[in-house]
Amino acid sequence: MTLEVEQKDNITLIKVAGRLDTLTSRDFDKQVGELGDFRGDLVIDGAKMEYISSAGLRSFISLLKKVKDSGHTLEVVNLTADVRPIFDMTGFSSLFNLK
């Protein structure tokens, strides 16, 4: 799992690549935590995500709560066919306003 973070105006874009599972979710939490407080909305680009398990979902929901608490929005975009069914299955698609 690798993260790529881009800052555009007030929007933070996080590109997630690889597997987000039990082994990598802690790494994800840590790296996201290091970004500090959010001064604007957050967008996660899942174009290169290969795999997500419940641990990854939990990381997403923690991040969502943190972002909402700071009064901003979290949007997940470009989910692959590998990951999208999991989001649909768990109701996360609506939670993250997936199109």
Partner 1 sequence: MNLSDKLSLYVMYVSIGVFIAIILIVEFYAAKSESEQAEHITRLLQTEMVSNLDSRFYAVEQNVKRTVPEARLLDIAQIKQHTGDILKILLESDSIIEGCGIAMIPEATPTGREWMEYLCRDKDTVTLKQLGETDYNYTSCEWYRTPLNLGEGAWSKPYEDKGAGECLMVTYALPVVNASGETTCEVTADIAISMLDEELHRLIPYPGSYSFILTKDGEFLEGYPQVQQDFPSFASAFQTGKTVTMNGTEFICTFTPVESINIVIGTASPRHSVASVTSRIRLPLLLILVIGFILLIAVVRMTLVRAMQPLKRLTQSAIDIGNGNFDIVIPETRRYADLSRLGEAMSFMKDSINRYIAEIKENTRAREQMESQLRIARDIQRSLLPAPEATFTSKRLRLSAFQESALEVGGDLYDYVDTDKSLYFIIADVSGKGIPAALMMSYVKSLFHFAAQQKLQPSEIVARINDNMCADNPNNMFVTLQVGYIDTAAEKLVISNAGHNPAILRSALGCSYLNLPAALAVGILPNFPYTQQEIPFVAGDTLFMYTDGLSEAENPQKVFYGQERLLQTVTTAISTQPSTTAIVASIGDEIKKYSANNYSDDITMLCLSAFPNDGISMQLRYDVAELEPLMTAIREIGISDKWDADFVKKIMLVAEEAVTNIIHHSPVPHPEEPIEFDLRNENERVVITIQDHGAEFNPLKHDTEVDTTLDWEQREIGGLGIFLMRRLSESIGYRYHNHKNILTIILKS
Q: Which residues of this chain interact with partner 1, rule CB under 8 A?
A: 21-23, 51, 53-55, 57-58, 61-62, 64-65, 68, 82, 86, 89-92, 94-95
Q: Kindly state the smallest distance separating residue 68's Cβ from partner 1, in Å.
A: 7
The residues that bridge with 45 in the sheet, in sequence order, are: 15, 77
- Output 71 or 94, the one with its CB closest to partner 1: 94
Q: Can you read off the two tokens belonging to residue 7?
A: 């800052």
Q: Kindly state the smallest distance separating residue 50's Cβ from partner 1, in Å.
A: 8
Helical (H) or strand (E) element with 31: helix 22-33
Q: What angle, 0 to 180 degrees and rounded to 10, lies between the N-to-C axes of helices 22-33 and 54-69?
A: 20
